[in-house]
Structure formats: structure tokens, C-alpha cells
Structure 1
């Protein structure tokens, strides 16, 4: 059994068995010996065998423990204007927006009624719009980075990321719609809907960013090794454009 097949079997066990300390230790030891591309290929093989992509979204807990230093290592390899440098910097800004959304939601949950003069309601709308403004970030991934990986046979990770983009887009727009309609709907209903949507978005978008930073982007560097290709990808990204919060843009 080759390394990819062993990793596939391990991921299958993590998805179907109780996570005992013994299994966790075995997983940590094996995953520490593989690179992100091998991990991506193992996940892809599971998908091809019939595992639903959404069932793989929660397989990351074990192997993420050994990837905590990967982002710092990756940054050292990248030039300031590299495609991945910009994507990582944008992730940092999106994470700040999620923290702000978390704070706004927490304050609104303590309120008893809507008041247009309370600053949090305007902040909620602005923050929702700012998060939605990340669309060009996703377009650069979906239209530039993902196709290059997929053309080289790396399709499992991008399939999961595309699926998550769609789910997250819907939740972002739901929050903005709630911010628009707060004065017209029952306040308790508004609070409940906002709390559910905000917590869903905050948890899942943070998780999504972590996976891209620590798995997808390192895998991309392993797969796409031609500097001329990255330069061409940068030109395509420039055509798509950037976000209002993109550093240096």
C-alpha cells in the first residue's frame, strides 16, 4: 500500500470511527510525514470513491494540528506581489471583519428592540457589505488559481473550496438582507436569524480560510512550480481586480 492509499485509509477511519487517543496519535504521526499535496490527493481519492465533499469538511482537525507552522514557511517563499501573498493578506483582513461581526452580533443579542440611532445597526450593514466585497478574492481563486490546479489533476480540494464559496456567499447575503430589513420585521425573529447566520458564517469562513492558508496554498506551490506561470496568473488576477480592503491596492 503506497503512502496515498495509507493516508486515504486513515482519513476513512477518522470519518467513521470514534476518535480515540490511539487513533489521534496515529493520525498525527502519519500526517506529520506528508506534504499538503499528498493530503489533497488522498482527499480527492475519497471523493472519487463516493465520499461527499461536505463530509470531508470536518476531517481537517487532526492534520491541521501539524500544519500550524506551514503558513509562516509559505510566506517566506513568496514575493510581496505574488498571487498567494495578496490572497493571504486579504484573508487577514477578512478575519478582522469576522471578529467585528462577532462583536456587533454579541451586542445586538443583548438588545430588546430596534433603534435606528444605535450605531451597531449601521455597523452591521457596513460590515456585511465589506464582507461581501471579498467577491473578487473568490473570483481570483475560482477563475485563476483553481483552473491551474484542476488542469494538473488536483480537483478534490478545489471542488470543496468552490462548494464552500457558494454556501458562504448565500450566508453573507442573508446577513446583509437582515441588516436592511431590521426595521420591518419582528425584532426577536431578527435577532434569532442574525445570530444563526452570523455564527454560521464566522465559524465556517474562519475554517475555510484556515484550510486555504494551510492546505490549498501550500499545495498550489507544490503543484505550480513555474515562476512564469505565476507571473501570467498575476496578470489575470489584475484583470479581475481586488477588494476595497486589499492591502496596497
Structure 2
């Protein structure tokens, strides 16, 4: 681990300890100016290796995202349309649309007093919940194809955090779909309360998860995995797993 990564890891650790966030973030941003995505991932990984709980690192990603927010368009421009990462990024765009729809539907339902008031809206809710759940194929391609290749290079921290978030989101997405499928047999006040909790969690955390993958994980993968033949083999493995119903042609 080089000295530059050690310094950033120390700054991120101070931020995690609760030091003044504005002061520490300013220092972190100055350091990050000369970092690439892979080095940022390694700094985060160093904290995990020193015993920091991956759960506690989620808030640190905002520093990374601030510095990398303009890099996604550059990354997409460097990728062919059928590249593994290009497909994952495009799927993210579709998932974000479903999250916007879920947020909107939940806001409308929270104002309702009964299921009968507008039964059609619950068909829309079930449709959106089904598509959000369909993103599991997206996650499986990451977990079974992309993450292992990064881990072979010793980049283990970001995949570990992403897997943890997949697990937490997966459980709630399934509950959301079951809830949307059984609204007619559920007490409406209880239904609204559960929907509010699930919607808020899924929308916030899935957006946050997507941003971290777009701005940190995928650029790291593009920089670290440089063998075109490897990407070709990864694409074949992704094809075997399959794609989401909303995936654009790959």
C-alpha cells in the first residue's frame, strides 16, 4: 500500500470517527484530486482490512462521488455498446426510472384512505415492484462475473460492500413485491405503513448503491481489468446468466 493511499485512508478514518465533516471532506478532496478510481477503492479496502466495519464506510462514498461525478460519461464513451460495463450502466438508468416511479406511487397511495379509492394504481405498483425485483439478474452478473475478477486482483473491499447491500436490498424487494401482490387482503393502514417503510428504504439505498457502482466500482473495474479477452469471456458468462426484462439489446 503506497503512502498516498495510507494518507487518504487516514483521512477517511477521521471522517468515520466523527471529526468535523466539512473540514475533513475538504482535506479528502484535496488528496483525491490525484487519485484514480482504483486507488480510491484500495484506500477504502485498507480501512476494512484494519477492522472498520464495511457498514460504516457507506457514508464515505459521498466523498468519492463528489470527485468522480463527471467520470461516468467519459467511461461510457470508452465502452462499446455490448461491453459488460456498458450494459450494467444502461440497466442502472432503467432501474433509476423504476425507483422514481415507486417514489411517486408511494406518495399518491399515502394520501389514499382505501384500496377501492383507486384500485388501478396498485396494478402499477405491482408492475414496478416486479421490475425492481427483476434487477436480480443484474446483481447476479455483478456477483458471479464482475466481482470475482476484481477480487482476483486483490480489490476486495468494494465488492464486499456491494454484496452486503445486494443482500439487504434483495430481502426488501421481495417483501415489496409480496406486499403489492396482496394489497386486497391486507389492512389498508398497515399496508400504507409497510409500503412507506419499504419504499423509502429501497429508493434511497438503491439510488445510493447505483451511484457508488457507477462512480467507483465500474471505473475501478475498467482501469484494473485491461485484458480484452477477459472482458470477452466475462460477456459470455453474463450471457449465460441472462438479462433483465428491461435490459436494452446487448
State TM-score, norm by structure 2.
0.96
CA deviation string 1:152-209 (max 9, x = no partner): 1010100000000000101111111111222222211110110010010000000000
Quote the RMSD (CA, aligned, Å): 1.3
Tell me the equivalent position of 2:86: 85
How far is the alpha carbon of 1:58 from its aligned partner? 1.2
CA deviation string 1:61-103 (max 9, x = no partner): 2221111101011111111110000000000000000001111
C-alpha distance in structure 2 between counterparts of 1:188 and 1:54, whole Å: 32
Structure 2 runs not aligned, ≥5 long: none
- What does residue range 91-240 of structure 1 map to in structure 2 within 5 Å? 91-115=92-116, 118-240=119-241
Q: Does the residue aligned with 2:91 lie in a helix, a strand or coil?
A: helix
C-alpha distance in structure 1 between counterparts of 2:127 and 2:209, whole Å: 22
Q: Do the aligned residues in 1 keep the contact of 2:15 with 2:21 (CA within 8 Å)?
A: no
Q: Do the aligned residues in 2 keep the contact of 1:27 with 1:63 (CA within 8 Å)?
A: no
C-alpha distance in structure 1 between counterparts of 2:191 and 2:118, whole Å: 17
Tell me the equivalent position of 1:42: 43
Q: Does the residue aligned with 1:194 lie in a helix, a strand or coil?
A: helix
Tell me the equivalent position of 1:4: 5
CA deviation string 1:124-177 (max 9, x = no partner): 111101111111111110000001011110101000000000001011111111
Q: Which moved more, 1:117-126 or 1:96-105?
A: 117-126
Tell me the equivalent position of 2:63: 62
Q: Does the residue aligned with 1:61 lie in a helix, a strand or coil?
A: helix
How far is the alpha carbon of 1:10 from its aligned partner? 0.8
Q: Which moved more, 1:66-75 or 1:111-120?
A: 111-120
Q: Aligned pairs, how many?
A: 249
The 1:48/1:35 distance shift into structure 2, 3 A limit, reads same
Structure 1 runs not aligned, ≥5 long: none
How far is the alpha carbon of 1:20 from its aligned partner? 4.3
C-alpha distance in structure 1 between counterparts of 2:70 and 2:196, whole Å: 33
Q: Which moved more, 1:177-186 or 1:190-199?
A: 177-186
